[in-house]
Chain A
Amino acid sequence: MSTAEVLNPYIFGVRPIEVLKRQVKVEGERATIDAKGLNHKEINDLIRECAISGIKEIVLKNVYGQRFIGTRVSLNEFRLRILIHGFPGNDLGAFLAKHEIIVYGNAQDGVGNTMDSGRIIIHGRAGDVLGLGMRGGEIFVRDEVGYRAAIHMKGYEDKIPTIVIGKTAQDFLGEYMAGGRVIVLGLGVEKHRMRYIGTGMHGGKIYIRGKVEKHQLAKEVTFGEITDEDLEILEKYVTEFCNIFGCEQDEILGDSFTLIVPKSKRPYGNLYSGD
């Protein structure tokens, strides 16, 4: 093994773009990339190359576990649609800016990690830490998500990140959440099993369709009253969800939602600063 390979086994051996281009088919403003045998850096190199050459829509085929897809294309004037057929790896759409990613399959952990803006749609389920540190944009997941969805999600002025989940989530939903919104639709779900909802949460709102017991909440959050403003938000996002995945929005909106909000903006103030 050479020193370069030892020091960075993943970047080592990344093929030059001229070679990789053989796996791209271009038709007008649309490119199809066969991701078979490509590593994550090679895929992103190709996406970037396509974007710069004026492609608007990229179809990725044969994706199995390659990470970070859609990152490193924050080029101001470009806006891409990336359609993924397969099973993208962790940190899909990390730092995503403005682009739209649509996955026909399931996603793994860390979807939309520190996402800035744009939209991610998953026609399937997603893994843990969905929307980790997300600060803008939207994520729609048709089925369920894993642990710690919306962990450390934040919002600032007009940047209000939003996650809509079709079925249900596992434990620690909205952990350390500081802003933004999470909407859980509970479609086809008899009972939400999630525990420790909103551990350390100090900003933002979680809406859950269906009943949630008090003991499922972490001690830093409480139930809130749904206002007209909340109803407007719900209507907007449920309609959008149903437009994407095809469902009856009136049926969903007709049911009652549980609102979960933080008790305090600074739950650990005493722990760290002693005041």
Chain B
Amino acid sequence: MLKYRDEKDISACGIFGIMDRKGRRFNGKLVIEAMSQMKVRGNGLGAGFAVYGLYKKFKEYYAFHVMIYDKDGREKLEKFLSTNFDIVYVDEIPVNDKAKVIDPPKFMRYFVAPRKKGTEKVLNDDDFVVKKVMYINRAIPGVYVISSGKNMGVFKGVGFPEDIADYFMIEEYKGYIWTAHTRFPTNTPGWWGGAHPFSILDWSVVHNGEISSYGTNKRYLEMYGYYSTLQTDTEVITYIFDLLVRRQGLPIEVVSKILAPPMWEEIDRMPEKEKKFYKALRMVYSPILLNGPWAIIVARHGEMIGLTDRIRLRPLTVAEKKSFLIISSEEAPIRYLFRDVDRIYTPYGGELVVGKLEEDIKKFVGESQ
């Protein structure tokens, strides 16, 4: 089912993220241009974009981007949504039929507010949404919620970044954070749901590499109600961030040390207090250490993060240009956009890069009605 071309051209994924820390919104043209400088990193089996700040008018509502392969599934989905949410606006995600993509599913967009009943009243809105998204992705056949955050959205599919951008008419959208991905699937099929970014609530992740700890991570996350349904390792990273940062309230700096912990011999050289802390982290969170080669760009409202595995088996370059923070697999796309930058560097393996919004986040996300 849903399986698509999976020939193995030798390549690697490419990731790119750009944020205006002053919160000014800009359109997707810049990002498409950057991605096309890294065309050879992908093989046309997946690409996608996450945009933050694009649905200002509906910023109080969760925006569900839903991929629909199945007509009956759509009916079931809409029935399910109307019993659990107030749907304030629905439309089909506009697409360009002339774009160079093959066999696209249907994409719908629902702006919703939770309508909690009975025992679900104790859940906060975000937990309620996660629970419902997990239900849809697991139980309703042929239907996948690919993003569910407020005032953000994911557009993704099978093709090169330019083709996917053309299909979703990405240049029409404006946002203050953009992340993008071009894919070279290694172990899993190149299908529309398997393209990056992966997203839950307003978290989104683009990833270059392979998570060899996927099985362990996946089982751990199931204990907390996160179910991986999209057949790609990257999916677990999204849920790990939601679990650790939003639900458990850990600072992002600590989360980076859980995903990419220092080596034991490094811990041995630390002062006593730090040693204790890092030992505890490694013991408590060992099932969500991310093993294998990876470089990721993670975003949510107000924040864009870059991180690699601790021995940097995948590349990442970071640049700053005035209020822009740019994170990329390669330097060339950054230089293509900004010939001169204020700072450009390559972080060490496991060294966290964070860009924070300098404005009030309420400008972009409202409370549910």
Contact = CB atoms under 8 A, between A and B. Distances in A.
Contact of B348 (A8, A105, A170): A170
A14 B336 CA distance: 22
Contacts of B9: 8-9
Contacts of B344: 106
Contacts of B333: 64-65
Contacts, number: 72
Contacts of A128: 312, 315, 346
Interface in A1-51: 1, 6-10, 39-40
Interface string A63-98: 011010000000000000000001111100000000
B331 A171 contact: no
Contact of B331 (A9, A127, A195, A196): A127
B139 interface: no
A109 interface: yes
Given A6-B5, A128-B315, A87 B44 contact: no
A147 B310 CA distance: 11
Contacts of A8: 9
B102 A147 contact: no
A172 B336 contact: no
B102 A65 contact: no
A196 to B, nearest CB: 8
Interface residues of A, number: 31
Contact of B315 (A86, A87, A127): A127
B353 interface: no
22 contacts: A7-B7, A10-B40, A64-B37, A64-B332, A64-B336, A65-B37, A65-B38, A65-B336, A87-B332, A87-B336, A88-B332, A89-B40, A106-B344, A108-B331, A108-B332, A109-B315, A109-B330, A127-B315, A127-B331, A147-B349, A170-B348, A171-B349
Interface of A: 1, 6-10, 39-40, 64-65, 67, 86-90, 105-106, 108-109, 127-128, 146-147, 170-172, 193, 195-196, 215
Interface of B: 5, 7, 9, 37-40, 43-44, 100, 102, 160, 265-266, 269, 311-312, 315, 317, 330-333, 335-336, 344, 346, 348-349
